[in-house]
Amino acid sequence: MEYYTRLLYKDKMHPEIYYSNLPIGQKIFLQEQLQYFGGDFDKLLEDIEKYAILPEVEDYEMAAVIRDYRKNN
């Protein structure tokens, strides 16, 4: 993320999203989804985990990563 872009979003993003190594487009998407969940980061992760294990998606690796993250934090 470029320096000026980081400054623009620093105070507007959840710290876990801001400091992640995701591309800026994904960070913005996650922040918008976080607002949908009323700022509850754990609910956002839970929702992403549930989505990842749907039969149509089957992204079990992502679900495992999120599960492990939630367990450790």
pLDDT digits (tens, 9 = 90+) for 34-67: 999 999 999 999 999 999 898 988 888 888 888 8
Contact in structure between 47 and 30 (CB atoms under 8 Å): no
Flag whether pLDDT at 4 surpasses 70.
Answer: no
pTM score: 0.75
Q: Residues 20-36: what's their mean pLDDT?
A: 88
Give one word for 40, left, alpha or beta, with left for phi > 0 and alpha for psi -120 to 50: beta
Q: What average pLDDT is seen over the chain?
A: 85
Whole-number pLDDT of residue 40: 94
Nearest to 16 by CA among 42, 54, 50: 42
CB of 15 within 8 A of CB of 6?
Answer: no
